[in-house]
Homo-oligomer: A and B are copies of this chain.
Amino acid sequence: MGATKTEHFTDKQNEIATIAKALGHPARIAILEYLTKVNECICGDIVNELPLAQPTVSQHLKELKNAGLIKGSIEGSAICYCIEEKTIEKLQDYFAHISINLEQKNNCC
């Protein structure tokens, strides 16, 4: 016991959960916000920006990349990272869908 029962949920549910999980850490939110501000940057810029060691930042970048929230392209000896817009749009659509379904409904709370 202890492991998430991924197989009991739909692919879509697992996908949204994976993306949300990647955003479930303030350092990764900070990275996303920094990338939003500067549009693109290399890992070292983020290391300078955040109060975390380089291996830790690298690990956070890896998780954001695995979740499809950012992408990186090799730029000489460095790697240029930027936000994957499609995934942000996917989240927007997801929450918009919930909002629309909640409108004009009364409930107990």
Residues of chain A touching chain B, judged by Cβ–Cβ distance below 8 Å, are 4-6, 8-10, 13-14, 16-18, 20-30, 32-33, 36-37, 39-40, 50-52, 71-73, 75, 80-85, 88-89, 91-92, 95-96, 98-99, 101-102, 105, 107-109
Q: Are A109 and B80 in contact (CB under 8 A)?
A: yes
Given the complex of chains A and B, what is the CA–CA distance between A105 and B38 in angstroms? 10
Q: Are B17 and A29 in contact (CB under 8 A)?
A: yes
Q: Are B109 and A99 in contact (CB under 8 A)?
A: no
Among B16, B30, B80, B101, contact of A23 (Cβ-Cβ < 8 Å):
B16
Given the complex of chains A and B, what is the CA–CA distance between A16 and B96 in angstroms? 17
Closest to A99 in B: B88
